[in-house]
Structure 1
Amino acid sequence: MRNKPPYALSSVDHALQLAALLQQEGPLRVTDAAERLGVAVSTAHRLLAMLVYRDFAEQGADRRYRPGKVLRPAETTGAPVALLREVGLPELRTLVERTRESANLVVPAGAEVRFVATAESPQILRVGDRVGCSLPAHQASGGKAILAALPPSDVTALYDGDAGIDLPRLRRELALVRKRGFAVNDQLTETGLTAIGVAVRRADGSPLAAVSLAMPTARFDRDMVPAWVSAISAAVTRIQAALEHPA
């Protein structure tokens, strides 16, 4: 299980976060970068200037920053990331208050899911912030919840020809996820990490994103699963309502 290093360099961390944001979400203004990192505008400007110097970013005529030639294009997502983050973060924080475990919001990006918002557990032993990270959709709890909500033909098209995927087995697992209404990732992506995910759906029922609750495997208790799923589902319901009727 990955956790933040005890002697983390904040400037390096900020620069890496900015590089990930540019690659995965596109153009940023200096003020946008400052807000996302929680730093002064002058600090964000210096960080972006260094990324430009090292070809991780470039500035366009509109003064916004874009990925530089060092960053390979990432798979794009059709999800409204900014709106999802705006309506999702308060619900993730409420979910953390109810469960004392870390909560995440993920969106699909090809055969992966991308973490776009995290609310961390207050406990010392916890799953850390995953914003900017991507995981295989067929392994992550949120990814499996999203795949289970897709038409089977879409799943086949996504993985057909991938020698690393046992498609019949994946179909059986997704059928179970559909029946239960939630998915579990038990140490598939990281040793010592277990997560539960529920899909966030559009008004037509198609999957848009997913909310997951992640915890150290040592704290995972099968008897608590119904309560955890109930808490996640409540957060998902409120997010869906907010997306249908934005303020």
Structure 2
Amino acid sequence: MRNRPPYALASVDHALQLAALLQQEGPLRVTDAAERLGVAVSTAHRLLAMLVYRDFAEQGADRRYGPGKVLRPAEISGAPIALLRAVCDAPLKWLVEQTQESANVVVPARTEVRFIATVESPRVLRVGDRVGRSLPAHLTSGGKAILAALPPEEVCAMYEDAGEVDLPRLRRELALVRKRGFAINDQLTETGLTAIGTVVEDAEGVPLAGVSIALPTARFDRDALPAWVNALSTAARRVEAALADYR
């Protein structure tokens, strides 16, 4: 039997209870959540909004909330996540200084990527923290950079049964990413958001992660692209060098 912690935080406890309810019982209305937790409807709404933000919940077309990606079975990433987190902070901060845009590190989990680190832009209008979120690899800039660094036959095997992915088109796009050395996500994952990414590889050339900058589409400027790509490449090489120092 577990004892309740003496300094339990009610808001954390409520959020964890709500996540468990979504995972075990399925979709809930805000009023259902409030009743189950014994809190005001406004409080339940704020809790659900935070769970949605962190991918613990999703809101359906019927306005009910169900379990999000974090609460569903997921592929395990083979990337050294703890080590990447330990070494990427300084390169990401440098990247933000150079570009004045938010910077991220993602790791692959088969056909998805997971955000494991973010340093936000200092600007008022900026792309926020994405840590903990998962997105389709073939849509994100970091994900496409990772896929482009894999053997083409491996990518084909990953997506051969994915009916929603146009594999010939994806192969053409990845060939262009390999040629350029960077990938772009132009509002594919979120309206009004553009991202540019490149790959982080180990000493044997195996892709471990993607580094990207994300910015409001209104600020995207093709004339600035060479400078952004140069900064991204430098940040990625710094991450690789830091990883090598640990080996």
Q: Which TM class, normalised by the smaller chain length?
A: 0.7 to 0.9
Deviation at 1:179? Answer: 0.3
Partner-residue secondary structure (3-state), 1:236 = helix
In structure 1, distance between residues paired with 2:13 and 2:168? 46
- Matched AA of 2:16: L
In structure 1, distance between residues paired with 2:114 and 2:239? 18
The residue aligned with 2:133 is: 133
Identity in percent: 63
In structure 2, distance between residues paired with 1:144 and 1:194? 14
In structure 1, distance between residues paired with 2:10 and 2:149? 41
- Matched AA of 1:241: A
- Whether 2:173 is the aligned partner of 1:173: answer yes
Deviation at 1:53? Answer: 8.8
**What is the TM-score with the length of structure 1 in the denominator?**
0.74
Deviation at 1:50? Answer: 6.5
In structure 1, distance between residues paired with 2:9 and 2:196? 35
The residue aligned with 1:86 is: 86
The residue aligned with 1:242 is: 242
- Matched AA of 2:166: D
Unaligned runs of at least 5 residues, structure 1: 1-41, 58-69
In structure 1, distance between residues paired with 2:221 and 2:15? 46
* Structure-2 change in CA distance of 1:50 and 1:182 (3 Å): closer
* Structure-2 change in CA distance of 1:50 and 1:166 (3 Å): closer
The residue aligned with 1:51 is: 16
The residue aligned with 1:152 is: 152
Deviation at 1:54? Answer: 6.3
CA RMSD in angstroms comes to 2.4
1:201-239 Cα shifts (integer Å, max 9, x gaps): 011111000100000000000011110011111111010
1:28-62 Cα shifts (integer Å, max 9, x gaps): xxxxxxxxxxxxxx5679836963796479xxxxx
**What is the TM-score with the length of structure 2 in the denominator?**
0.74
The residue aligned with 1:95 is: 95
In structure 2, distance between residues paired with 1:223 and 1:181? 17
In structure 2, distance between residues paired with 1:198 and 1:151? 16
Displaced runs of 4+ in structure 1, greater than 3 A? 42-50, 52-57
* Number of positions where the alignment pairs a residue of Structure 1 with one of Structure 2: 196
Partner-residue secondary structure (3-state), 1:150 = coil
Deviation at 1:200? Answer: 0.3
The residue aligned with 1:220 is: 220
Specify the structure having the higher radius of gyration (Cα). 2
Partner-residue secondary structure (3-state), 1:115 = strand
1:74-97 Cα shifts (integer Å, max 9, x gaps): 221011111101101221111111
In structure 2, distance between residues paired with 1:54 and 1:229? 39
